[in-house]
Structure 1
């Protein structure tokens, strides 16, 4: 005769799970609060957890239920306080970013969507309408990916010229695909430009490549229905550094174009989480960032302060600088928030129209994940800035 099943037989297993869950929860919390200087993989995971923090409610709930059951049985009571502490930490990590995003959204009148929030991390992204070679410099071919709006118009429209990030040594123009749908759906052609990466050192070359790309776009603007006087440079991280440097240093003979070019000025500039003062960045950053800067410039900071200043957007801010949108994460462990704060201060002193938006919870590259609250906020901020400074006009919006 079979013995009746008793739930008490599962008690050892439940106790083991009650122990395992807090350990797993502590690991998640450790990733969530990972400081700067930790391995890149941890920063990558930290960024995902902060953008999709609400998923931490699930381990918090499971840990709480298991802890309640096991401690209620009268055994393993020593787990109780540690497990509840982990539950509280998980709840804090789950709710703080989401509440921060919602407060910012409410302050600025930006709607956030849970439906978008639960999209795949990386959804389908469009392919370029066309890829062209816009220059060959010192034997290196430079290409541009062109994304065009579906709705054609006889009027010339503003265009967004995108510069990818990657620490000046990596990344690719294909990163623009993450923004292409959003921008083209609002009527803006998007042109993602190559620039030379290090090694060898490209500190005095990459800005010239960007100018060469701007000149090519202006020369071929009529082909793509673009108004050459209404161009916006949009860069992220290292791309944001180049965007602001080129936008502010227009006409500086020390930073010439890589090819024959006339006017390379732009109407506006957008920079996400980018360094603005290379000397300050080298001083305050970790060893990896310093190595990147030395690879980009070709020299260490010591004894070459003038070169670092020349390659710093902060140095070139003046009254003629174009309107600027700065967006930065308050928890950025790659490029600290003070980089954008210092640039905003300098822009204010020069009376340049500008806006700085800080996402207090956000890590570096917070906007790359489709649907996350950070991406939703970033899209709204970019859309408003473009509409304010380079409106498409009567182009229909979805």
Structure 2
């Protein structure tokens, strides 16, 4: 007679090893073991995948920030990487959090990848920051690390309070607009007037709008300036003469309405970035030149200062050190309307460098040392020409910095730029 199997109490389960030996355990223990095993099998893959994504992004950012790969795509991608230098702080935090999770889950591969990514991004944050702090010291500019850490990614590009929009010129059926931001605080110039700043946006002469300058106009207004950001005609509805002509018309409009704006007409600053820097120099350096008349007639379109951020100064040399020569060459030819061989006079006349002479407005130039689109060599060519002509000027090359370095408001490059502009303003005051 076969003996009955040993009874099992409720809540237990019977299992058999491969050799047939029976084992007994509780149902809850088995369920726990199954759940834990499932988690251990699934979660390492998830955390490893996330860590790998962060690792790839960290390597990509590092390459973009350090390796001058000569392709247009890389040059354009560098704009995003450089504009988000402070974003590496976020990458450090994400990598560190993933590393902690991987350590707790005993996911060794994920721990190694996430930890290495966090260290790499920490280095790519610390090295540029240290270089820029040293540059700030050389320029005798105070910067705030707290502002960098807390507001490094702030753009602050909203329409400033109190802004009014006006038409400053008419070109055919096109009305050209400007936005006026009244200065704050007491007027500082003789007669209770204010200095004026006229901002010219960038965009390769074919994109952009006056609102691109809202952050700077707000900054200038807070320091007592009457600030103006302007539109101008863009390609393909413009040519090599209309851009400088529109900028001159804006300056003439401000001068003619100086009493209305409370502006000192002898204290106007033209400030442009990239293509806007080129147009600001062209307008400031060709006062009275019949080749570049203002769009609407004005008796006087002169300015006291020109501020040029990473603008083209010599079209003949602009592609020499660019990692995107095809893009720059195409934009330059579209702006001029032909090649140097096809339009030699227009090509020559469209370079600010060729208009340098004694008596020009004092000029401040700032450029990133790692600008992949417009090389800082453009600034150095202008610097030497202005020095030879005896024009008051100052040139600042920012380390670990590319095009659009002032896109965010709290970063170290923007803080240095603000300090240098204030110094330049004081140095050129009458």
TM-score (norm 1): 0.87
C-alpha deviation, 1:310, in angstroms:
0.6
Structure 2 partner of 1:293: 332
Counterpart check, 1:42 vs 2:69: no
The range that moved more, 299-308 or 197-206, is: 299-308
- Alpha-carbon distance between aligned partners in 2 of 1:309 and 1:55, rounded to the nearest angstrom: 46
Shift of 1:167: 0.9
Q: Answer yes or no: is the 8 Å Cα contact 1:267–1:323 preserved in 2.
A: yes
Aligned residue among 378, 381, 397 for 2:420? 381
Residue 179 of structure 2 is aligned to residue 151 of structure 1: no
Q: Which has the higher contact order (CA 8 A, sep 6+)?
A: 1
CA contact (8 A) 2:271 2:307 kept: yes
For residues 309 and 228 of structure 2, the distance between their equivalents in structure 1, rounded to whole angstroms, comes to 17
What residue number does 2:51 align with? 21
Is structure 2 residue 202 aligned with structure 1 residue 165? yes
Q: Report Cα offsets for 1:21-46 as digits up to 9, x if no partner.
A: 14422223313433451168734421
Q: 1:47: Cα distance to partner?
A: 2.6
- The structural deviation recorded for 1:10 is 3.2
For 1:110-149, what aligned pairs fall within 5 Å after superposition? 110-117=141-148, 118-119=150-151, 121-123=154-156, 124-127=158-161, 129-149=163-183
Question: How many angstroms does 1:304 deviate by?
Answer: 2.5
In structure 2, runs of 5+ residues without a counterpart are 1-25
Task: Write out per-residue CA displacement over residues 188-217 of structure 1, whole angstroms, 9 at most, x where no aligned residue.
Answer: 111122221110342111111111111111
| Secondary structure in 1 matching 2:57 | helix
Q: Deviations over 1:92-116 (max 9, x none)?
A: 3222222222222233332322443
Which of 202, 212, 224 is equivalent to 1:175?
212
After superposition, what is the alpha-carbon deviation per residue over 1:299-331, rounded to whole angstroms, capped at 9, x for unaligned? 123333332221111111112121111111112
1:333 matched to 2:372: yes
1:235 aligned partner: 272
1:281 to 296, 299, 318: 318
Contact 1:279–1:305 at 8 Å: present in 2 too? no
Distance 1:63 1:388, change over 3 A: same
Residues 41, 320 of structure 1: alpha-carbon distance in 2 compared, 3 angstrom cutoff: closer
SS at match of 1:38: helix
Mapped pair 1:356 → 2:391: no
2:211/2:229 contact within 8 Å kept? yes
Q: Which residue of 2 aligns with 1:89?
A: 120
- TM-aligned CA distance change 1:287 to 1:379, over 3 Å: same
Tell me what 1:344 maps to. Answer: 383
Superposed CA offset, 1:261-286 (max 9, x none): 22222111101011111122245543
Q: Following the alignment from structure 2 to structure 1, what is the Cα–Cα distance between the partners of residues 241 and 334?
A: 12
The structure that has the greater radius of gyration is: 2
Distance in 2 (CA, whole Å) between partners of 1:231 and 1:333 is 31
Over 3 Å counting, the alpha-carbon distance change for 1:92 and 1:350 in structure 2 is same
Q: 1:272 to 1:236 in 2, by over 3 A?
A: same
Contact 1:135 1:143 in 2 (8 A): yes
Report how far residue 291 of structure 1 moved: 2.1
Question: Does structure 1 residue 33 correspond to structure 2 residue 63?
Answer: yes
* Local SS of the residue matching 1:211: helix
- Residues 202, 208 of structure 2: 8 Å contact kept: yes
Q: Matches of 1:128 and 1:333 in 2, distance apart? A: 37
Question: Within 1, Cα distance between the matches of 2:98 and 2:377?
Answer: 38
Per the normalisation by structure 2, the TM-score is 0.81
Q: Where does residue 14 of structure 2 map in the other structure?
A: none
- Structure 1 position 371 matched with structure 2 position 410: yes
- Tell me which residue corresponds to 2:19: none
Residues 343 and 7 from structure 1, CA distance in 2 versus in 1: closer, same or farther, beyond 3 angstroms? farther
Kindly state the Cα deviation for residue 80 of structure 1 after the two structures are TM-superposed.
7.9
